[in-house]
Structure 1
Amino acid sequence: MKLIGNGKVITRDNDQPLIEEGAVLVKENTIVKVGDYKQLKGEYPDAEFIDAKGGVIMPGLINTHNHIYSAMARGLAIDGYNPNGFLEILDGLWWNIDRHLTLEQTKQSAIATYIDCIKNGVTTVFDHHASFGSIEGSLFTIADAAKELGVRTCLCYEVSDRDGEDKMKASVKENADFIKYTAGLKDDMTKAMMGLHACFTISDKSFELIRENTPDNVGYHIHVAEGIEDLHDSLKKHGKRIVNRLMDQGILGPKTITAHCIYVNPQEMALLKETDTMVVHNPESNMGNACGCPPTMEIFNRGILTGLGTDGYTNDMFESYKVANVLHKHSLCDAGAAWTEVPAMLFEGNVKIANRYFDTPLGVLKAGAAADIVVADYDPLTPLTADNINSHMLFGLNGSKIVTTMINGKVLMKDRELLFVDEAKAMADCRQQADLLRISINKR
């Protein structure tokens, strides 16, 4: 057994939200007790002790929309790339990268991303992958990296017509093969969804093939109304708004994630609510691509299950929390906005989303929950109480404060040292592949 103690325990359990001098007892991959540090230390003297050194012990964070393949975009210079608008950003940067990615580059992107997640205290990652240069085996390659590093993950491949029918069909097959593979796994570490790019790159014929290859117990992961162009395309080609089209195509439902939802109206929100479809907000991405500020506060307050993602911009969920907090205050000209909604997305919505796929309770420190636990080096300069936890999370913490990360009962990082991977070699391998990608993209 392992005992993580000598710190302030933030449980995210409403029955006991904060234990001032607490500890968490873990047996194999499950939490068995949460309580007073000295008491548990006395009861279990032989348990392997992990000292929080007065810091904060809390559940691992969850990212419900990421893009591992974007890792190698950092610092990438593309000849002639000078985009004017969202569609040119997609085609000139993101689709350009994914058209050139090899399986090895996908692997190194995954390793680098999962390492960064561990370092930032993110223990569960929902990823939305694209590598139209190497489709077959790409999800399995990412899953191998996740298994090697010990990260809990849910994967899908984005189906799109943008590179032709053959690649669209290959993308559907990659999803279908991976869904079948994960259904046979006995652990609770790797799950699958059917990934879709966006309505404006998927025809009705392709939707038919997608549905035929998606089991009833599996949902979809799709970008919805991220850009105004997506809405205009749906209205022009299909005479209906995006969420209505997804409803008609049988895509909405309690296991479906709709990412972004910037250009949705109240009637579409009603459909999302009625079908219990999930929405994931990605504030940095929306701002960075100048796509607009989504009506996320209204979506959330209508009772639609809403989570928080990063869209590949960062692996630090605290960063996404901070940006979402100020974005909606600024957009609504309301200093009172987002105080309760955004932390609820991160600490409650993401947990509920993840638990629609993973069987073990996540995002909480209580008996029977998954042993996904992180320790932050945080000594608050003002009192930390059960009533102001989220304020401390917002203004006092960031990913770099995480010192220890446990996933599924395995300590992957201790006192900021990664235990099961040679980080220097991993980063060197990633840089080498990133340079090869740069050369490939810019080759004339």
Structure 2
Amino acid sequence: MLITNGTLITWETPNRILENHALYIEKDHIREIGPTQDLIAKYPHEERLDAKGQYVMPGNICAHTHFYGAFARGLAIPGPAPADFPEILEKLWWSLDKSLSREAVYYSALVCLVDAVRHGTTTLIDHHASPNAIEGSLDQIARAVEESGVRASLCYEVTDRDGPERAKAGIEENLRFIEYVKRERPLNGRLAAMFGLHASLTLSEATLQTCRERVGEDIGFHIHVAEHPVDEYDSLHKYGERVVDRLNRHGILGPRSIVVHAVHVDVREINLLVETGTWVTHQPRSNMNNAVGMAQTEGMLRAGVKVGLGNDGFSNAMWEEWKAAYLAHKLWHLDPRRMPATDVVRMAIYNNAALATQQFNCGPIGVIAPGAQADLIFVDYQPFTPLTPDNLPWHIVFGFHESMVTTTIVAGKVLMRDRELLTLDAEKIAYEARQLAPRIWERYHALF
């Protein structure tokens, strides 16, 4: 396929903006870039997709999300509003996840994937929980991923909070799915697997040891860390050490593992994250919503931590997460100089791209360059001031909106063209989800 008449935002290092350029896509990857007329002359008989002067750029990447949380939208939490994050976990998430069936797992993924395709998010790293529907739950999400055409990495959240049998079942679900992905390499590299863990405060020494023993060094862990101080105090009380130290002792950290949030880690923990090459993901909208504070994100980046940007189950409009990161740190520190857009780009573009490239092992992701995966979006943005590689980050923060995404392509396949979804029936999916939601909510309220 030949994409013509685009203004390319390559996100190379350094970034380039190329007007009236074309992309030649061969199967799932970009083969060649050049001026539109040159490539038309070179490939006169190829199928063409006219970008009509729109910006053509790599699709957005979400480094941490929860598809399973979709049915929380509009759900009323019984009794008084939760006073802190531990109460939010108890009253909302640990009850909602128990209310999910396999069918609900499938539709919770589908509604999130509709949102992702519409809003230009082409790669997502998910973290799943459904204690009453563990076995085969990752297959249900993978089924939704296959139908949507997006790229996703999946894992199941192992925890001791629901008893030893369910902890064991979670371990087996991770291992089964990891082996399936290794053996079959399904969806032509669009599917990856990690080993999911909930958080230190719900994981015993025995469970952590078992997980480490059962998982090969080539597989990374995906775990929440110090989102709230309770995680640190729980670890200090039970084990006499902070969370990151504990995870390091168990061999959970490493260059393929993801630590989520890390809001309340100290300097030594940051140094351990650097020394082990562990990834960290930042989710500012979730942190604000849960009132847990703001991670030392700028300091982590300065120290050498590989910090990416996720959404923790919020909408898959990742530019909204950019804006939240850009604004929240300024307010948190009472300093408008904090969190420049260049730091947001470092997380959301370059670090997320490096993480995704590592996860899927099918060539570069998140860049327009020969050999890179053809994960692309068209953006109908009409700037009224000059747009350059230097000021693009601020154009995105203050000007770009998810409604401007008109076309979404993953691995060379068009998933949305001119705002029309081609792989998913959004109306039917929303209808089916609405039929399921009352039953899920009924099971949820029955737990109180």
Q: TM-score, normalised by structure 1?
A: 0.98
Name the SS for the 2:6 alignment partner.
strand
- CA deviations 1:382-437 (Å, max 9, x no partner) are 11112212121111112221110000110000000001222111110111112221
| 375-384 or 96-105: bigger deviation | 375-384
- Residue of structure 1 in register with 2:37 after alignment: 38
User: Is 2:412 the counterpart of 1:409?
Assistant: yes
**Which runs of at least 4 in structure 1 moved beyond 4 Å after TM superposition?**
none
Question: 1:332, 1:45 → 2: CA distance?
Answer: 56
Q: Assess, with a 3 A threshold, how the Cα gap between structure 1 residues 16 and 225 changes in structure 2: closer, same or farther.
A: closer
User: Is 2:167 the counterpart of 1:164?
Assistant: no
Q: How far has the Cα of 1:15 moved from its partner?
A: 5.7
1:119–1:416: 8 Å Cα contact kept in structure 2? yes
- Residue of structure 1 in register with 2:348 after alignment: 346
Q: Assess, with a 3 A threshold, how the Cα gap between structure 1 residues 81 and 265 changes in structure 2: closer, same or farther.
A: same
Name the SS for the 1:434 alignment partner.
helix
Question: 1:256, 1:15 → 2: CA distance?
Answer: 27
Q: How far has the Cα of 1:134 moved from its partner?
A: 0.6
- Residue of structure 1 in register with 2:106 after alignment: 107
Question: 1:438, 1:15 → 2: CA distance?
Answer: 49
Which ranges in structure 2 are unaligned for 5 or more consecutive residues?
none
2:440 to 416, 437, 441: 437
| 81-90 or 303-312: bigger deviation | 81-90
| 42-51 or 430-439: bigger deviation | 42-51
Name the SS for the 2:321 alignment partner.
helix
Q: What residue identity is the alignment partner of 1:394?
A: V
Matches within 5 A, 1:37-436: 37-80=36-79, 82-186=81-185, 187-339=188-340, 340-359=342-361, 360-436=363-439
Question: 2:15, 2:405 → 1: CA distance?
Answer: 23
Q: How far has the Cα of 1:334 moved from its partner?
A: 2.4
Q: How far has the Cα of 1:78 moved from its partner?
A: 3.5
Name the SS for the 1:31 alignment partner.
strand
| 186-195 or 272-281: bigger deviation | 186-195
Name the SS for the 2:20 alignment partner.
strand
Question: 1:146, 1:312 → 2: CA distance?
Answer: 16
Q: Assess, with a 3 A threshold, how the Cα gap between structure 1 residues 406 and 94 changes in structure 2: closer, same or farther.
A: same
Name the SS for the 2:192 alignment partner.
strand
Q: How far has the Cα of 1:81 moved from its partner?
A: 5.7
What is the aligned-residue RMSD (CA, Å)? Answer: 1.2
Q: What residue identity is the alignment partner of 1:27?
A: E
Question: 1:76, 1:147 → 2: CA distance?
Answer: 28
Q: How far has the Cα of 1:277 moved from its partner?
A: 0.5
- CA deviations 1:65-122 (Å, max 9, x no partner) are 0000011111112433631211110111111110010000000011111111111111
Question: 2:126, 2:355 → 1: CA distance?
Answer: 13
1:123–1:407: 8 Å Cα contact kept in structure 2? yes
What count of residue pairs does the alignment treat as equivalent?
Answer: 443
Q: How far has the Cα of 1:379 moved from its partner?
A: 1.2
2:99–2:441: 8 Å Cα contact kept in structure 1? no
Question: 2:335, 2:377 → 1: CA distance?
Answer: 33
| 130-139 or 30-39: bigger deviation | 30-39
